[in-house]
Each structure stands twice: as C-alpha cells, then as structure tokens.
Amino acid sequence: MNRIEAMFEKLSRNGQKALMPYITAGFPDLQTTAALIKEMTRCGAGMLELGIPFSDPIADGPVIQSSFTQALAKGLKNKQIFEMISEVRQEVEIPIAAMVSYSIVNRLGPNEYIRHCVEAGIDGLIIPDLPLEEAKPIVELIQKAGLCSVMLVAPTSRIERQNAIAKMSSGFIYYISVTGITGERKELPAELVDNVVRLKEVSPGKPVCVGFGISTPGQAAMVSKVADGVIVGSAIIRRISEAENSGRDGIVKHVSQYVRSLAEAMA
C-alpha cells in the first residue's frame, strides 16, 4: 500500500487527523530542507508536502513565490531535489508528496519524471495547473507507478465537477479553502465546514485535506474537526525567512516550535 494511503488508514483507525506541513525544496538550501523534513517528522507531521520551485507559479502567493525565486536563483536542479529526497528517505518514513507544475513534469517527460519520483521515494504528485479535462493520461501514469495522484477542488467548483475530481483523485482530495492564491488568512471562510462536509459526501472513503490560508493552531484545530488533514504552507515559509539569518539550526528550531504547536492543537 502507498505510504499516503497507509497513513490515512492508520489515522482513521485511531480517530486522528494528519498535519501536513509544506516547505519549498531548496529554500534556503537543500541541506536545510532535509533537516526540516527530519525534524518536522519528530514534531508531529503526518505527511510532508514538498513544493518544487517553478518560475511562473499560478496559485502561490508572494511568500511562496519568493521562496521559489530564491531557490532557483541558486541554480537548483530537479536532479538535486531527487537526490536530497533519496537521502532523507534513509531516515524518514512519513509520506512525501511533491507539488509540482505540469510544465516541469512535461519538460522532463511524464514517464521519466514519475520514474525519478518512484526511485527517490516520493509517494504522490499534486499538479495544481493540470486541468481536470486533460488530467486522465497523466493520472493513469502516476497511479500505474504506484503513486497517488492528488487533485485539487476549489470552493467555486460545482458539485458535478467536485464529484469528477474526487473520482480521479487518489490518496486524498486537496480542498482549497479560499479562492485566490496561497497565503495566511486571519479568518477562514464561514462556509468552509459545510463545503468540506459536502465534498466528503460525494467522495465516500477518500480523505479530504484542506489547504490555503491556514496559519494558526486554532485554525488548524477547527479544520481538523471536519477534514482528514490540514495543510500549512505560507506560515511555515514565512518562519523560515524570519530565521534565515540565524543559520540552519535556528531555522529548524523556529519552524519546529511552530509545527509542534499545530500538532498539539490538532491532537
């Protein structure tokens, strides 16, 4: 069984929810990324979402965009990311899903990119700019390779479209809590709970995880009451930036304290 599927099955049996931190690969460097992955595992993360830097992201807010720019400015290559994940896999068992633009996948070739993911120890792919109407061929390749193909559902999606996305998605369904780009929000939409409940009704048996906008332990706790997983990204990337001058150890300490507070709130 895929690590993502196994994780959600275990959590469901225990009545628990998954904390799913997002970090950008190579920000501020790959060694720090590796150190963060290892430490967040110890701080209560159930799964790790790894953003693959891209020069023209479509849904990422300024915080994550800046992390992409800085990583790419240092000449980061996909080969280096795969090598880092392979090394981390020797110590880390939690699932890792890569959030990657289809442009990157297509440039290398879907079969080749998926092969590298499998060899490195990646468990799933989230391709935010792959429209449902064009997704079937790549989704079939991903699932044939034993990886999960995680699809995104927007709050504006009609119920028929949500149903179609849910059927194609494997591992979990990524529900976008707010319209627009990623970034911390002081308040989450009032309709969030009802929307997640409705999505779960049309996708029985498939975990639904919520991302975009979640930044405080209170928000994480609230979302975890209805969703199967909570994804936190921009708030973590901001904390990496805040601690950048304190070196790798300072970054890891600053971020781990925050991740631990989220995990404790969701317990």
pLDDT in tens, the chain (267 residues): 899 999 999 999 999 999 999 999 999 999 999 999 999 999 999 999 999 999 876 656 789 999 999 999 999 999 999 999 999 999 999 999 999 999 999 999 999 999 999 999 999 999 999 999 999 999 999 999 999 999 999 988 898 999 999 999 999 999 998 765 454 556 676 789 999 999 999 898 899 999 988 999 999 999 999 999 999 999 999 999 999 999 999 999 999 999 999 999 999
Q: Which runs of E-coded beta strand occur in 2-82?
A: 18-24, 48-51
Tell me how crowded residue 70 is: count the other CB atoms within 10 A of its CB.
18
DSSP category for residue 7 = H
Q: Which residues contact 115 (CB under 8 A, 6 or more apart)?
A: 145
Q: What is the Cα–Cα distance from 202 to 219, expressed in whole angstroms?
A: 24
CA 265 from chain centre, in angstroms, equals 19
Q: What is the Cα–Cα distance from 54 to 47, expressed in whole angstroms?
A: 22
Check if the beta carbon of residue 215 is closer than 8 Å to that of residue 182: no
List the end-to-end C-alpha distance of the chain, in Å, as a whole number. Answer: 25
CATH number, domain of 212, equals 3.20.20.70
Q: What is the Cα–Cα distance from 8 to 46, expressed in whole angstroms?
A: 9
Q: Which of 9, 49, 191, 228 is catalytic?
A: 49
CA 190 from chain centre, in angstroms, equals 23
Q: Domain count of the chain?
A: 1
With H, G, I as helix, E, B as strand and everything else as coil, classify residue 180: coil
Q: What is the Cα–Cα distance from 203 to 157, expressed in whole angstroms?
A: 14
What is residue 61's predicted lDDT score, i.e. its pLDDT? 75
DSSP category for residue 149 = E
Q: Which of 60, 123, 184, 228 is catalytic?
A: 60
Enclosing domain of residue 170 = 3-266
What pTM did the predictor assign? 0.94
Q: What is the Cα–Cα distance from 130 to 133, expressed in whole angstroms?
A: 8
Q: What is the Cα–Cα distance from 165 to 105, expressed in whole angstroms?
A: 20
Q: Would residue 112 show up in a list of annotated catalytic residues for this protein?
A: no
Q: Would residue 140 show up in a list of annotated catalytic residues for this protein?
A: no
Check if the beta carbon of residue 150 is closer than 8 Å to that of residue 166: no
Check if the beta carbon of residue 73 is closer than 8 Å to that of residue 18: no
Report the relative pairing of strands 48-51 and 229-232 from DSSP bridges.
unpaired
